[in-house]
Structure 1
Amino acid sequence: MSETEAMALSGVTYLGCGISIICILLTLLCMVVFRETLNKGVLLYIHFNLFLALLLALIIFVFGIETATHIKWLCATVAALLHYLFLCVFCWMLAEGILLYVLVVRAFTTNFKKWYYLLPFGWGTPLFIVAISLGLRYEYYGNNNYCWLSHDKGLVWSFVGPMLAIILVNSVILVLTMVSIARVRSKASKGTGSKNHTDIILTSAKSAIVLLPLLGITWIIGVFAVEQNTTVFAWIFTILNSLQGLMIFVLHILRNRKLRSKMGRRCGLIVQSEKSNYSSSTEYTSTDKREGAPVSMPSGCPSNGDISPSWKSHSGIQMNGSSASIQGTISNDYECQNFTVDFSKSSSSVPD
């Protein structure tokens, strides 16, 4: 690889991994802020741990895989951390696959809420593997080019072996899960089951089906890229590695309609709050015609924060000698209009 190609590859790597890191950070933030809206139960905690492990791995990958090669112990530490964190990613993916299948088999029960029972598997199993590898082949962690597992003495198989095993097992589990979900949805369409209960699990299964080969193929190619030191493998690995965070954000946040609606309403409330600082503070005593209850509200357009296509009216009566008029607003969650009905002139101005 020429020096020019190496510089271009390095630039794309930093840019792509930077985008992935930002996307994963946004995903984790949305999962914390809108956790009740996501309503995934234990799956939410599995996804959080999975994405957290991937985030930490990408950060260490960007800042350490090449920059720490001149210090042996530091390079070995970076290689061991990358080994551990990427194994954590695959272990959490396996935990997700197993849980999805269990939820389907147990008729989508939500009784299992003790997600921390999965912590020893997701974070502890990789630690056990890395500890054994370090004890047997510490000197092969890192080299003069990369802070990664050396191919000498087969050390790299302490990562590739578990990764391939998890991909194989998880693929079988996800296929069985999708078949079971299809059967349940078929029964629900005939009125013998509930279709709504399958939505969260189906979405998670689809996301796992996309992410599993993406992560797996990325690191299989990554092993060849390091071993063969070829430009083609290096570019493919860099591009796929850059897509991981973006795909996670799209699959788990942007494709969630309920979450998009919630985020849109929250942004709308913020804008409405800012506008209210400049609106008139005059209040009318009016009546909500739908419920018949007197309410007191500002003259600006109201917003109740709910998703509802129904219109609501809020009005007040003004008297001036022999004339009278009704002024108020008609609104729903998407628009509002002021109206006036003047009885003295027997004319009115009402929104279409």
Structure 2
Amino acid sequence: MSPYIHESNVLWCRAVTAVYNYFHVTNFFWMFGEGCYLHTAIVLTYSTDKLRKWMFICIGWGIPFPIIIAWALGKLYYDNEKCWFGKRDGVYTDYIYQGPIILVLVINFVFLFNIVRILMTKLRASTTTETVQYRKAVKATLVLLPLLGLTYMLFFVNPGEGDVSQVVFIYFNSFLESFQGFFVSVFYCFLNTEVRSAARKRWHRWQDKHSIRMRVARATATSIPSSQSRLSFHSIKLSTSV
């Protein structure tokens, strides 16, 4: 965004900032939905079949909408400058959407703690050695960190301007925000055993249907000439008898 547009504070520029912040907040609320699902399935031992898709849609897309509307109204009346990007000293309207993000990360941290606690309880009840138990617990913790968005807590506070730490903060946050969905989709979808098994079954089912169609098409193609030849032979026999 050029400095001229940034200082002009035009309407479309403010709208772009609002849309960007909306999708930024939805990113965290979808991670909150993932944390709710895991916590319900593992800790509460509640049947996940009773959880409906519309519940997670309301969490991921619905809740951030009024939050951003309230933030936009706050910016309009108290900090209406520089395309609503950044903030003035003494004005805390950005916390209208940053506060729920912090709350989501804290709740997901509690979810992670409970999930690891239940996992350790189950591992202690098993016959595995203590070293294997802790190794599995640490592995589960590291796997769940990016899924629940807790990696953002490592560099959550901006260290300030004019420092090397701020450059590290900007690049690290940009990397996390850009590749968060990529890492989640790779580790929890494409490399998931159940997902790969379901995709393999789907592929084999499609191959079977395709082969059946091909056999039917070949049978139909071979039956049509034979019927035509019988028809022509019958017409020749009739013509000769006449």
Q: TM-score, normalised by structure 2?
A: 0.61
Aligned length: 199
Q: Decide which structure has the larger Cα Rg and report it.
A: 2
> Within 5 A, what are the aligned runs for 1:1-352?
66=1, 69=6, 72-138=10-76, 140=79, 143=82, 148-152=85-89, 153-184=91-122, 186-187=124-125, 189=126, 207-211=143-147, 212-217=149-154, 220=156, 231-264=167-200
- Cα shift at 1:162: 2.2
Letter in 1 for 2:61: W
Higher relative CO (Cα under 8 Å, sequence separation at least 6) belongs to 2
* Whole-angstrom distance in 1 between the partners of 2:60 and 2:104: 12
Q: Is the 8 A contact 2:9 2:82 kept in 1?
A: no
Structure 1 vs Structure 2 CA RMSD: 4.1
* Whole-angstrom distance in 2 between the partners of 1:269 and 1:119: 30
For the residue of structure 2 that corresponds to 1:154, the secondary structure is coil
Q: Is the 8 A contact 1:88 1:126 kept in 2?
A: yes
**Residue by residue, what CA displacement relative to the aligned partner does 1:131-166 show, whole Å, maximum 9, x if unpaired?**
22222222636726xx63435412332333222222
Letter in 1 for 2:191: R
Residue 242 and residue 266 in structure 1: after superposition, are their counterparts in 2 closer, same or farther (change >3 A)? same
Residue 111 and residue 266 in structure 1: after superposition, are their counterparts in 2 closer, same or farther (change >3 A)? closer
- Cα shift at 1:107: 2.5
Q: Is the 8 A contact 1:90 1:163 kept in 2?
A: yes
Unaligned 5+ runs, structure 1: 1-65, 191-202, 283-352
**Residue by residue, what CA displacement relative to the aligned partner does 1:48-80 show, whole Å, maximum 9, x if unpaired?**
xxxxxxxxxxxxxxxxxx377466211111111
Residue 269 and residue 142 in structure 1: after superposition, are their counterparts in 2 closer, same or farther (change >3 A)? farther
Identity across the alignment (%):
19
Higher-helix-fraction structure: 2
Q: Is the 8 A contact 2:43 2:114 kept in 1?
A: no
Residue 159 and residue 174 in structure 1: after superposition, are their counterparts in 2 closer, same or farther (change >3 A)? same
- Cα shift at 1:256: 0.7
For the residue of structure 1 that corresponds to 2:51, the secondary structure is coil
Q: Is the 8 A contact 1:84 1:130 kept in 2?
A: yes
* Whole-angstrom distance in 2 between the partners of 1:124 and 1:269: 37
**Residue by residue, what CA displacement relative to the aligned partner does 1:261-298 show, whole Å, maximum 9, x if unpaired?**
44456557778968x97xxx89xxxxxxxxxxxxxxxx
* Whole-angstrom distance in 2 between the partners of 1:163 and 1:86: 9
* Whole-angstrom distance in 1 between the partners of 2:193 and 2:41: 23
* Whole-angstrom distance in 1 between the partners of 2:169 and 2:190: 30
Letter in 2 for 1:87: V
* Whole-angstrom distance in 1 between the partners of 2:81 and 2:140: 36
Q: Is the 8 A contact 2:71 2:97 kept in 1?
A: no
Q: Is the 8 A contact 1:133 1:158 kept in 2?
A: yes
Q: In the alignment, which residue of structure 2 is the partner of 1:198?
A: none
